[in-house]
Structure formats: C-alpha cells, structure tokens
Amino acid sequence: MKSTAPLFFAFIVGVIVLLSEFIPHSPFNQIVSTLEGWFMIISGFAILLGQISLIRMNTHKIVHKLDNWQYHLAGLISFGLMLTLGLLWGMQETPGILGDAPGIQAWLGQKPFDYLFDNAYLPLSATLFSLLAFFIASAAYRAFIIRGLESNLLMITAIIVIIGRTSIGTMLTGWLPENLQFWHFPNLADFIMEFPNTAAQRAILISAGLGIVGSSLRIILGIERSYLGGDK
Amino acid sequence: MISIMNTFGIWLAAFFTLCIFSFLYKDNPFYKFAEQVFVGLSAAYWLVYIIYSIMVPNLFAKLADDFSGNIILLIPAALGLMMLMRIHPKTQWVSRYPIAIMVGTTAGISMLRYMKSDILQQLTATMINPFAAATTAEVIGNLLMIIGTICGVYFFYFSKKQEGVSKAVSKVGIWFLMVSFGATFGYTVMARISLLIGRLDFLLGDWLHLIK
C-alpha cells in the first residue's frame, strides 16, 4: 500500500496532464493549471526540505566537532544571518515581516539582505566561477593533448571560436580579400556555430527528447519507480 | 554614513575575493571559510527568494486574503508538509505521496513539451532543401547540418551493436559532437575569463583605485 498508492497518484496526474493536451476544454485545462500551481507550492516545500537537511548536516558536524567544524559553523551563521535579514526586512521591492526598514536603508544605502547579497554573495559567486579560468587551462591541456582526430577537432574548433569571438580574430585575418572572407576568423566561427554546432546540438536535443519521452512514459505507467526510494 | 558602509562593503567583497583566489596557492583556512560562507549565503538566498516569489504569492497571501475561496490550497500545503516528513526515518514513507504527484505531473508535462520542442520542432527544422540557399557556403552548411543531425542521432542509438556501415555513421556523429563540444568549451573559457577580468577590475579599480 505504501508503494502502490503513490504509483496510482503518479499515474492519475500524469494521464490528466497528457489528456489535457488532447482535450483543451474544461475541466482538463483547469485541472492542469491547478496541478501546475500545486507543483510550485510543493517544490517550495521541497527546497525548504533541502535547507533543513543542510542545517542538520552542519549542526551534526558542529555538535560532534568533526573535521573542519569551525568552517561549518561559519556557514551556518552566514545562512542564519542572510535568512533573518531577508525575512525581517525583505528583498528589493518586497517588504519583510518588519516592513521596508527605511532607517536601515538610509544607513546602508539599500536593504540589509541586498547589501549582503551585493557585497558578499555576488563577489563570492563571481570569484568562485572565475577561479575555473585557471583550472580550465590545465584541463584544456589534458583534453587537447593530441591523441586522435576527435581531440584535434575539439581543439581546433575551440581555438577558432575563441579567436573568432575576440578582437584578435578580426586583426589576424582582417586583411583577407573579399573572395576569401569565408576564412576570416569571425566568419569561420559564425559558420561553425550556425551549422556543425547546431547539427550536433540538434542531435543531442532529439536524442535526449526521445529519452525523456520514454522515461516519462515509464514513470506514468509505474514501470520506473526508483523515485519512491526503498521499502521502508 | 552611506559612504562608510559602501566602503565597508567594498572591503568585505575584496576580502572574500582574495579568500577565494588564495586557493590558487593551495587549500587553506581562508578559502575554506569563504567556501562555507558562500554555501550558507547561497542556501539562505534561495530560501528567501522561494518564500517571497513562490510561497507568499501562491499560498500564504491567497489564504490570508480569502481563506474560504482558496481552501483548495490547503491540499498542496498539506502535501508540502508531508514532503517535510521525509526528515524523520519513521515517517519517510509519507513523503512518497507528494513526490509521486510532483513526478507524475513533471512526467506528463515533460513528455508533451519535449515531444514538441525537442523532437518534432528540431526534426522539422532539419527537413530543409539544402540547395535552396543563397551562397555555396550556406549549401555546404545545410548539407553538414542534415548529415550531422542524422549521424549524431544515430550515435545515440545504443540498442544494437554498431559495426560496419553503422559504425562509420556513428563515427561521423562523434566528429560533429566533438566540434560542438569544442565550440562550447571555447565559449566556457571566454565566459570564465570575462568573470576573472571582472574580479580583477573590481580589485584594481573599485578597491585599490589603481585603474580608472
């Protein structure tokens, strides 16, 4: 019962959504929009569940003084601080429990949540991702080391796209005559992006789409049930 | 006062930027600290965002404004609370109901959406007359597009062992995929470099005022 009833529910809602596509009239269209609204609310709770899990994991490490517990404490404090500021005084145009805090805004120049977002979250996020610029160089060496035709293709395309999308590309082949303009780096990069790249992306989309349709059908029919977890 | 807090904000941002960059030397306490602060801030940011953009307008505000008119919203609220029961091992099974409803809805929506946008529309866009183009380069491009799409899709056909002619077709598919991965890699490199330039611009301009 604990496993069968959820499968039944998945089947019912899946079939209703499918039917609504072929019967776009009341009550099916209303049922689908209602289900989509419910989906958003439940996914909000699912995110809350993820945050609770994060707090539990960090608390466990801090209480048991596991390795690097001090850093997890810092993480928990920053989580609590950002959450409290957001709930109390809101974010951007949205007021919080205590309103818009005009006094604090006059002091900080913006809401406390937005201040923390602009001066801590945003720099951390941008720097973490920019760090990849360094590691991508070593990754590129390993990936591009000439092993065969495939790795050569990857390397040559990447170089053409990088050069073609920067000013150096225009500078290097800008002198080419009109009848050889196809080999001008920016034009070559455009050609690669427009044709071979689109072909491969299209192949990926079609193949992945077929896979998604198959998986969805398996879920609706109850063949795929791994999302329910174990038999506890 | 705003000016002082603005300066403090710039110093805070510079501190976190340097903490992250310190990882280039080796893993160290400053990096670990900044990394965990980022995890905490990120989690809280998304939670606050979800509360204000989804939970409040779609659930709490509607129930507060007209409870009896929106009483049906108690069902997703109850399902959401059932989802939270996953925290405790003994009540974990209760969360299967909201998960099943979410997965069922997603499966139904995805099946139709991907069938239309990723299969039918892409197939339609590939079924073109390659010779109806203005220039030779476009004709070659159109031919490459058709061949690349067919061979690429064939590469993902795993139900039968690929040998002989089918192996050759699959090989051509791999070449097209490699070209695409190369282009994607090139774009990723450029995006990361521009982020790096942005951070260096902040450090040398906004923080140290060495560049204008």
ipTM: 0.88
Output the six-digit token pair for B168: 């050759």
Q: Within a domain: residue B105?
A: no
B189 and chain A in contact, CB less than 8 A: yes
At which residue do the structure tokens 């209760």 appear? B94
Contact assessment for residue A140 and residue B185, using Cβ atoms and an 8 Å cutoff:
yes
Which segments of chain B have a pLDDT < 70?
1-2
B4 and chain A in contact, CB less than 8 A: no
Q: Within a domain: residue B4?
A: no
Identify all chain A residues contacting B147, using CB atoms and an 8 Å cutoff: 199
Residues of B (117-146) whose Cβ lies below 8 Å from A: 117-119, 122-123, 125-126, 137, 140-142, 144-146
Q: Within a domain: residue B66?
A: no
Please answer yes or no on whether A6 and B96 come within 8 Å at the CB atom.
yes
Identify all chain B residues contacting A162, using CB atoms and an 8 Å cutoff: 186, 189-190
Which pLDDT belongs to residue A232?
A: 47
Q: Write the pLDDT tens digit of every residue in B35-87.
A: 999 999 999 999 999 999 999 999 999 999 999 999 999 999 999 999 999 99
Q: Within a domain: residue B174?
A: yes
**Distance of alpha carbon B88 from its chain centroid, rounded?**
30
Q: Within a domain: residue B167?
A: yes
Q: Within a domain: residue B38?
A: no
Instruction: State the smallest CA–CA distance between residue B166 and chain A in angstroms.
Output: 16
Q: Within a domain: residue B141?
A: yes
- Non-local (6+) Cβ contacts of A6 within 8 A are A228, B96, B97, B99, B100
Q: What is the mean pLDDT of each run of 10 residues along chain A (232 residues)?
A: 86 92 86 88 93 95 95 97 96 92 90 96 95 81 75 91 92 92 94 96 97 96 86 50
Cα separation, A11 vs A9, whole angstroms = 5
Q: In a 10 Å sphere around its CB, with 0-12 CB exposed, 13-18 middle and 19+ buried, how is residue A96 labelled?
A: buried
Domain of residue B180 covers: 131-212
Number of domains into which chain B is organized: 1
Which pLDDT belongs to residue A1?
A: 65
Q: Within a domain: residue B142?
A: yes
